[in-house]
Amino acid sequence: MRRNPLLPLVAALTLAGCNAWLTEAPEDFFTPTDFPATEPDLKIALAGIDDWYTGGSNQPYFIRGWPILTEVPSDQTITTQTSGSRYEQDSYTLGPSNEWLWRVWQQIYGAINQANVVIERIPQLTTLPQDVKDRYLGAFKFHRAFNHFNAVRVWGSVPLMMRPTSEFATASVITRAPIAEIYDSIAQDLEDAATLLPLRWPDSATPDDGRPTRGAANAMLADVYMNMSGALVQENHWADAARAAKAVMDGKAYSLVPNFADLWLIRNKNGPEHIYSIQFAGVKRNLYTCQSRPSGVGIESCSNYWFSTAAFMNSFNAVDARKPVTFLTQVIAGTKTYSYH
């Protein structure tokens, strides 16, 4: 019988497959106890918050959920739908199963919890320069305030989440906080953020590149204080609102564009009038405006889910320069012109 000289080699390789040198040793591993640890880590974590807004979850809330939740039920817009979740929003017939309610709720509290994790982690980063820790702490406090502000304006009394939650047992006993308490917390987070954040991030070419800044914190703070002075909270914060608004102007980072229509041109994104803009790029597409474009108009077609009411459009004076660039009543696609509304 002829011996096969390859058999010992095959056997040796087979046995070697069990050796430790084939065991992969991970070069890095993120856990809540070791991430973030560096400034690049903090930058990654901050971008992770934006994913709740632009694409990190199914139907992120600034692509569809937020306009459907806030614009469609208003007297400024009307939906083309006669049934389903969008119609429920427009007709005030929605129930707890409405997808835009639970989607936006999950995304808001996902972003808040993510911010809380980093807010608790930053003081432990003793090797980082204080100015780096300050601006990132301000940024995450901004996001926590931003999402609580959105939640309280839509639902009123909601859970006030100031600590990270990682266990079902903890989450199951969370209760709603009074509206005034939520607003107080939002205001404090933004007061802190306005102190900690820079006017412009060191590596940014413009005051607004999608990351929170001192101007953004003060602008939102003015809005918060005006809301606190209204019917729900009934506290007098008009002077605080004026102070925060004046801080935005005194920062001299922003200015009005001469031509209102220029605000909406893609080439002018993150322009001098933009204080805080959530960024969409590449595969992260913003469907906000697409949803109100008509269908059946050739290459310019889109969803036709909702559009402005004629009454709202006609409330603008005919000579108001904002009117023709805010309301689209005609679409030109190739050689065809489509008029609607």
Residue 241 placed within a domain: yes
User: Do both 180 and 307 map to the same domain?
Assistant: no
Q: What is the mean pLDDT of residues 269-294?
A: 79
DSSP string, 181-250: HHHHHHHHHHHHHHHHS-SS-TT-SSS-SSS--HHHHHHHHHHHHHHHTSTTT----HHHHHHHHHHHHH
Q: How confident is the model at residue 21 (pLDDT cuts 50, 70, 90)?
A: low
User: Do both 132 and 154 map to the same domain?
Assistant: yes
Residue 216 placed within a domain: yes
Total count of domains within the chain: 2
User: Do both 145 and 251 map to the same domain?
Assistant: yes
User: Do both 208 and 182 map to the same domain?
Assistant: yes
Residue 79: strand pairing partners: 306
- Whether 45 and 36 have beta carbons less than 8 Å apart is answered as yes
Q: How confident is the model at residue 293 (pLDDT cuts 50, 70, 90)?
A: confident
pLDDT tops 80 at residue 153: yes
pLDDT tops 60 at residue 17: no
Torsion (CA) 219, 76, 57, 36 in degrees, nearest 10: 0
DSSP string, 297-330: SGGG-----EEE-HHHHHTS-TT-TTHHHH---E
- Whether 61 and 104 have beta carbons less than 8 Å apart is answered as yes
Domain span at 299: 289-341
User: Do both 141 and 193 map to the same domain?
Assistant: yes
Q: What is the mean pLDDT of residues 79-104?
A: 87
Residue 25 placed within a domain: no
- Whether 147 and 112 have beta carbons less than 8 Å apart is answered as yes
Q: How confident is the model at residue 13 (pLDDT cuts 50, 70, 90)?
A: very low
Q: Please report the pLDDT score of residue 294 as a whole number.
A: 78
What are φ and ψ of residue 36, in 5° steps? -80, 155
User: 230-244, pLDDT tens digit by residue?
Assistant: 988 889 999 999 999
User: Do both 251 and 316 map to the same domain?
Assistant: no
User: Do both 320 and 221 map to the same domain?
Assistant: no
Residue 26 placed within a domain: no
pLDDT tops 90 at residue 90: no
Residue 335 placed within a domain: yes
- Whether 48 and 114 have beta carbons less than 8 Å apart is answered as yes
Residue 28 placed within a domain: no
User: Do both 65 and 201 map to the same domain?
Assistant: yes
pTM for this predicted structure: 0.86
Average pLDDT over all residues of the chain: 86
Q: Please report the pLDDT score of residue 33 as a whole number.
A: 72
Q: Measuring CA to CA, how many Å separate 211 from each of 49, 98, 154, 282? A: 10, 31, 24, 18
Helix 130-155 to helix 99-121 angle, to the nearest 10 degrees?
160
User: Do both 207 and 337 map to the same domain?
Assistant: no
Whose CA is closest to 44, among 56, 54, 35? 35
User: Do both 126 and 161 map to the same domain?
Assistant: yes
Residue 27 placed within a domain: no
- Whether 300 and 336 have beta carbons less than 8 Å apart is answered as no
Name the domain boundary from 288, 304, 327.
288
Residue 283 placed within a domain: yes
Q: How confident is the model at residue 208 (pLDDT cuts 50, 70, 90)?
A: confident
Q: What is the mean pLDDT of residues 322-329?
A: 87
* The token pair that represents 24 in the structure block: 């992969």
User: Do both 190 and 318 map to the same domain?
Assistant: no
Q: What is the mean pLDDT of residues 105-123?
A: 95
User: 27-58, pLDDT tens digit by residue?
Assistant: 666 666 778 889 999 999 999 998 898 875 56
User: Do both 131 and 230 map to the same domain?
Assistant: yes
41: CATH: 1.25.40.390
